[in-house]
Chain A
Amino acid sequence: MENYIQYVIDSSVFILKGSVLTIQLYFVTILFSIPLGISLALMKISKYRFLRISIGFYTWVFRGTPLLLQLFFCYYGLSIFGINLPAFTAAALTFTINYSAYLTEIYRAGIESVDKGQYEASKALNMNYFQTMKRIILPQVVRRTIPATCNEAITLVKDTALVVVIGMGDLLRSAKELFSRDFAITPFAIAAVVYLLMTTVIVYFFRKIEIKYSIYE
């Protein structure tokens, strides 16, 4: 029994070390893709046709092809053209671009769901476009899109496991290594608990923001 507890602890430490990379990739992706998603959403509904079409093409391609393929393309594919990105850079870039595509559509729908009376009131008070968006429209959009953003944030935790295909060691790969070595199910159980812990923290965090933003309803 004592041996087993020691085994669980050792395995957990090994797997948690692997999860450092998962967490790094996670934060880089979230930090870049949310602001990028909001900016691209604003462009997608702008009055400039060129912008609307370009962003539309972008979300069409990145939502319409597998993330795995995009990862292959960015890491292996680009090296054919002499662009050799380090694995982490390639992964962060691919995840950010991919997740921004989904977030762009979420925020676009959020912006379009705000009543046009809000724009008219802002205009009647002589607020310009940036003041209207920053002070009036986007705060309401953030509130409305919290549940959808939370869904994306949870999916991302699990999607990070895909980086094994470009040779990176992450949480799941560490667990798999232990499994291969020991032929025991425990490492997978530990990996599941770590994933659950991460998603629980994320859900809790989003719930907090949702409550904070809900005071006005």
Chain B
Amino acid sequence: MKMIQARNLYKSFGTHRVLDNVNFEVNIGEVVVIIGPSGSGKSTLLRCFNGLEEIDSGVITIEGESFAHKDPGKKDKVTSKEKKEIAVKLGMVFQHFNLFPHKTVLENVIEAPITVSKINKSEAVSMAEALLDKVGLSDKKNSFPSKISGGQKQRVAIARALGMNPDIMLFDEPTSSLDPELVGEVQKVIIDLAREKMTMLIVTHEMRFAEEVADRIIFMDEGKIIADEKPDRIFNNPEHPRIKTFIDKITMRQSNRQE
């Protein structure tokens, strides 16, 4: 089954075109990683799938249901009520975590299940405890976000998104604002999710991680999808010279950093 389908997506910020006829799809259980230079439209694309950004035109389908259907200059054919019902199926993890600072780790995870999904508190707590256990943070459940490390924050954010029981997880540069030694613990949680066949769409600059976790890699540049291939093809034998330059540059930087 197609979990996400994007057809002819266009979007501009002012005169700057950030999505330029984007077409791709994500199958069930598939992990798709989006890479590309800064400003190439990767994050914007991701944010269009849960309504944090609106496309100018095109069609987005989530699990076979229309999530956005816009002709140029026209109103969206999908109502905001319909969008909300579909958006429940997607969880999102942000570069800057965006945890709720006034709530403990546990409260962060149970907040939406209780207020949005209306499940009772004891049920929410036991589910949240299981999720925190899964991301290795059971012992931090009563800490406030200000008292834990960046890597721990991001793992809480993943648990919080999973708390809404999504079918698809979106990751927007989940390790970009972490200290290098904390990147691994977050990547491990994402790799575990991939093993459980969670459908995921991930924007990242970590090439080794991309190669390890991805079933397919999408390379974006200037709002266009330049390549949509298996990882080994992208990393070892890219068709487009632009991809090779980008990967060489970024892997050189990342191996320098590790030395």
Footprint of B on A, CB under 8 Å? 115, 117-118, 120-121, 123-127, 131, 135-136, 139-140, 143, 213, 215-217
Whether the Cβ atoms of B84 and A139 lie closer than 8 Å is no
The DSSP consensus for interface residues of chain B is loop
- Please list 29 pairs of residues, one from A and one from B, whose beta carbons are closer than 8 Å in the complex, sorted by A's number: A115-B98, A117-B94, A117-B97, A118-B100, A120-B52, A121-B99, A123-B50, A123-B51, A123-B52, A124-B90, A125-B111, A125-B161, A125-B164, A126-B84, A126-B87, A126-B112, A126-B116, A127-B116, A131-B116, A136-B100, A136-B111, A140-B101, A143-B102, A215-B144, A216-B103, A216-B145, A217-B101, A217-B144, A217-B146
Q: Is B115 an interface residue (CB 8 A)?
A: yes
* Contact A127/B112 with A118-B100, A143-B102, A216-B146 known, Cβ cut-off 8 Å: yes
**Which of A131, A213, A217 touches B115 (beta carbons < 8 Å)?**
A131
Q: Does B91 contact A (CB under 8 A)?
A: yes
Q: Which residue of B lies closest to A132 (CB)?
A: B115
In the assembled complex, the CB of A152 is this many whole angstroms from the nearest CB of chain B, namely 23
Contacts of A213 in B (CB 8 A): 102
* CB contact between B94 and one of A120, A143, A215, A216 (< 8 Å): that residue: A120
B96 near A117 with CB under 8 A, answer yes
Query: Cβ of A135: which chain B residues have Cβ within 8 Å of it?
Result: 111, 115
Other contacts beyond A120-B52, A125-B111: 13, CB < 8 A: A117-B94, A117-B98, A121-B157, A124-B50, A124-B94, A125-B112, A135-B111, A135-B115, A136-B100, A140-B101, A140-B102, A143-B102, A217-B101
- Residue pair A127, B144 in contact (C-beta under 8 Å): no
Residues of A within 8 A of B116 (CB): 125-127, 131
Q: Select B98's contact among A121, A215, A216, A217, beta carbons within 8 Å.
A: A121
User: Is B217 at the interface (CB under 8 A from chain A)?
Assistant: no
- Given A126-B87, A127-B112, A135-B111, is A216 in contact with B144 using a C-beta cutoff of 8 Å? yes
B115 touches A124 (CB 8 A): no
The yes or no answer to B194 lying at the interface (CB within 8 A) is: no
What's the minimum C-beta distance from A201 to chain B, rounded to whole angstroms? 26
3 A-B pairs with least C-beta separation: A121-B98, A125-B112, A117-B98
Residues of the A chain whose Cβ atoms lie less than 8 Å from the Cβ of B91: 124
Q: B92: CB under 8 A from chain A?
A: yes
Q: Which residues of B contact A124 (CB under 8 A)?
A: 50, 52, 90-92, 94, 161
For A140, list chain B residues within 8 Å (CB).
101-102
In the complex, A140 Cα to B161 Cα: how many Å? Answer: 21
Q: Are B101 and A121 in contact (CB under 8 A)?
A: no
Contacts of B112 in A (CB 8 A): 125-127
Q: B144: nearest residue on chain A (CB-CB)?
A: A216
Per-position binary interface string of chain B over residues 150-179, scored 1 when its CB falls under 8 Å from any chain A CB and 0 otherwise: 000000010011001000000000000000
Q: How far is the CA of A131 from the CA of B111 in the complex (A)?
A: 10
Q: B88 in the interface, Cβ–Cβ < 8 Å?
A: yes
Contact A118 B98 (CB under 8 A): yes
Kindly list chain A residues whose C-beta atoms are within 8 Å of the C-beta of B164.
125-126
Which B residues touch A118, using CB under 8 A?
98, 100
Cα A120 to Cα B87 with chains together (Å): 13
Q: B237 to chain A: closest CB distance in Å?
A: 37
Q: Which residues of A contact B50 (CB under 8 A)?
A: 123-124
A217 to B, closest residue via Cβ: B146
- Name the interface residues of B50-85: CB closer than 8 Å to any CB of A: 50-52, 84
Closest to B111 in A: A135
